[in-house]
Amino acid sequence: MLGKNIEILSAAFGVRIENTPPYRGDAKGIVERYFRTIQEDFKPYVDGVVLKESTKKRGGYDYRLDAKLSLYDFTETIIESVIVHNNHLLLEKYDREAEMPAELPLIPIHLWNWGVANRTGKLNQFPEDIVKINLLPHKKATISELGIKLFGCFYTCTEAIKEGWFDRFKGARPEDGVTVAYDPRNADSIYLRPKNKLNQFWICELTDRSRRFRGCTFWDVWSQTKEEKKTNAALKPDSILAHSKLEHKIEKIGNRASESQPDTSSMSNQSRTTNISENKKTEKEIERQNTAFNIKKDEKASPAKVVPLHNNEKEDYGYPDMTSDLFGDDDES
């Protein structure tokens, strides 16, 4: 509900958004009161709930030391409270409409169903995936031959490949980028809105170029790219200095080669290039002889020493005598 993200939902489903003025709790009293009402369901049964005293007050007890619930446990508690409220809470003081039958239970789910049938008409229904994607934050992504780029990650999909968006010919791809929806909890995929239509989407997956971000959240992506930018910024001065030294060394090599060049002012251009093939062949042969590996065998190496398994005992490695086994008496066997 923060920022402009709600505008996507409003435009996609025709939902009218109304905001109350800030610091005016009386303008939304039911919502403000229910913050306390829902806490009354679980406060007596869990530890670490907010107390009136705070640690800022001298001698105040820090209730945070008693906290036990994880984020999953707290979410489960809230959902269970909402389910019981909607399906079982009896609103004894509810102001009935004149058309409401006496046998209608004053329970939120039954009142809702009666209102849908008798007051608002048929509600609009949309596919669940479309609703989920329109609840996600949206952002402009750029396109190049490397893929669809969002927050430094590259994505691709079958539909974009068929459209020829990743070809070097730029005429096929949208020049002003595309609108994509992304789930901050999962960087493996994004949802592209073709032609900026809010009732359609293409699922785009990470390319191999961004394989290091697989299994990450977008918070991980933002943190890692921030650290990479810091590292690159720290190394950039050294890189600039190294290139400056390289230019100086290349200039020295060029000057040295110019100084060692023989005087050819008295020679014609034809005579200088007549034997260029032979000279190249000769120089290659010299270079090969100077740089070839010449690994020699160590002639001083002595043979390995054999260590007997049994000291001072001569081992017999001849064939065994099997005469007694082959021709002995049957009784003996």
Domain ranges of the chain: 5-88, 128-223
More confident residue, 222 or 167: 222
What mean pLDDT comes out for the span 300-319?
A: 67
HEC letters along 126-174: CCHHHHHHHCCCEEEEEEECCEEEECCEEEECHHHHHHCCCCCCHHHCC
- Structure tokens belonging to residue 117: 């049938």
Is residue 331 predicted with pLDDT exceeding 60? no
Looking at mean pLDDT, say which of 179-193, 248-262, 297-311 comes out highest. 179-193
Band (333; pLDDT cuts 50, 70, 90): very low
The pLDDT score that the predictor gives to residue 251 is 92
* Averaged confidence pLDDT in the chain: 84
What pTM was estimated for this model as a whole?
Answer: 0.65
- pLDDT tens digits along 164-212: 888 877 667 888 889 999 999 999 999 999 887 888 899 999 999 999 9
- pLDDT tens digits along 98-146: 889 999 999 999 999 998 888 876 778 888 999 899 889 999 999 988 9
- pLDDT tens digits along 46-102: 887 776 655 555 666 777 788 888 889 989 999 999 999 999 999 999 999 888 999
Band (312; pLDDT cuts 50, 70, 90): low
